[in-house]
Amino acid sequence: MAEPAAEPANLRLLRRLVTLLLVVMILGLITLVGLIVIRFARPPAPALPAEITLPEGTKAEAVTQGRGWYAVVTADQRLLIFDTTGTLRQDIAVQTGPTLD
């Protein structure tokens, strides 16, 4: 019976490189799946009331939220503080400095 031929060195190197590539791809896939799971496992943000009533003639520009309250910044530079039920608790006039227009 004939003895099997020895494997060339460059073929052995190629096989090792392909195996290394396979390991790196598997680790990358596991990392991506882990990051997606971590990203979407966060608890949802607290819900705002379905509807809020702003004072007549005001237009909302921004909203922020804290524990048990949320604030609406209006176009006429006021800060309206509401509780979680949607009841207006404070109306604060924001004093701004000169603009750099």
- Contact (CB, 8 A) for 55 and 80: yes
With a cut of 80, say whether residue 17 has pLDDT above it. yes
Please report, rounded to a whole number, the percentage of residues in the chain having pLDDT higher than 90.
Answer: 42
Q: Give pTM, 2 decimals.
A: 0.51
Q: What's the length of the chain?
A: 101
Between CA 63 and CA 86 the distance in angstroms is 13
pLDDT in tens, 25-51: 999 999 999 999 988 887 776 677 777
Looking at per-residue confidence, does 73 or 85 come out higher? Answer: 73
Average pLDDT value for the chain: 87
Query: Domain segments of the chain: what residues?
Result: 8-44, 60-93
